[in-house]
Amino acid sequence: MNRDIVEREIKSKNGGIMLLVLLAATIASIFVLIVGIALLAEAETVVGGVIFAVGMIGVLLFPILMAGLKIVHPNEARILTLFGNYYGTIKESGFYYVNPFCTSFAPQTGKGTAIEVAVNTATDMSSGKKTTESTVLLKKSVSTKLQTLDNGRQKVNDVLGNPIIIGAIVIWQVKDPTKAVFSVENYYEFLSIQTDSTIRNVSRLYPYDDFDESGDDSVQEKTLRSSSIEIAEVMKEELQNRVEEAGLEVKEVKITHLAYAEEIAAAMLQRQQASAIIAARQKIVDGAVGMVKMAIDKLGEDQIVLLDEERKAAMVSNLLVVLCGNKDAQPIVNSGSIY
């Protein structure tokens, strides 16, 4: 924000009174004008000419003064300039009267007209491409309502270099209208560009998923898939630091889409499946070893069958094959001696 610009808030709501005064003055001017015309018709040239001139000045002047009437709706603000200089800011809703030569100053659209632009962003679900449409509104106020920015999806690389597709939405509002108008050319475009940069920079700091097979949860790092809420909070803080100078406040950042890029999606799916199979097998083996130990200990305690070390080894091998196999075991009946 320019250091010479200090916000001046206009709070006087005298628009209704000034409207009545100007209407009454305009009607009186019309009456004086009619009287002047009548006197001129009766050959009263001097007096009639003066009265006619006064009435004509009033008829022309008072409608011009009505340009100072300004209406501000709830959750909106008006930034006023007077002959190129900052005049004041109206933040509260109401009916105001200001200098009639003041003009409302709003973000530029690139065409040189001070109007407000509503940016509508849509995403093609098949291709993931973002399309942005700008709707021009004949409006010269700055909205301070909560707004949502959907910046679509973008391809980035995670910390491991894997290409991923990520999309996020930003819930934001204009906190300081004067800053937002005078600090940047168009705070809509400024927020959109900073959002792209923030999502790209933060996504590069984390892996998409954790493929650590050690099983130690204490050393597990944050990932985009499992820690999306925490990472979205990091995005919010960084984005807020970037748009602070534009008078914008970021309320929330939400990750709405996260996936591997098409070129590695199939390979990463196989890797995830392999990791899941290994983890499942590890659970099965741990359970099978425990069951075998329990069976041998139970047989020895109750002295049902006394087995030497060789027979114990054979029994352990058979039980592990049965418990860890993918198919059901086929029983074989031995009618002879187990020896």
Residue 240 tokens, joined: 């807020």
Q: Report DSSP letters for 42-90, one per residue.
A: TT-HHHHHHHHHHHHHHHHHHHHHGGGEEEE-TTEEEEEEETTEEEEEE
pLDDT in tens, 109-153: 433 333 444 455 555 545 555 555 544 444 678 888 999 998 888
What are the two backbone dihedrals, phi and then psi, of residue 40, each rounded to the nearest 5 degrees? -65, -35
The pLDDT tens digits of the residues spanning 182-191 come to 888 888 889 9
Q: Residue 339's pLDDT is what?
A: 53
* DSSP β-bridge partners for residue 248: 174
The class of domain 139-257 in CATH terms is alpha beta
What is the Cα–Cα distance from 118 to 112, expressed in whole angstroms? 16
Q: What are the pLDDT digits (tens) for 26-50?
A: 999 999 888 888 887 776 677 878 8
Half-sphere exposure of 71 (CA within 13 A, CB side): 4
C-alpha distances in Å from residue 338, one per residue of 237, 264, 293, 298? 72, 55, 21, 19
Find, among 90, 96, 259, the residue nearest to 165 by Cα: 259
Closest CA to 170 of 92, 253, 262: 253
Query: What size, in residues, is the chain?
Result: 339
CA 44 to chain centre: 72
Outline which parts of the chain fall under CATH 3.30.479.30.
139-257
CB neighbours of residue 91 within 10 Å: 19
Q: Reply yes or no on whether the pLDDT at 229 is more than 60.
A: yes
pLDDT of residue 118: 47
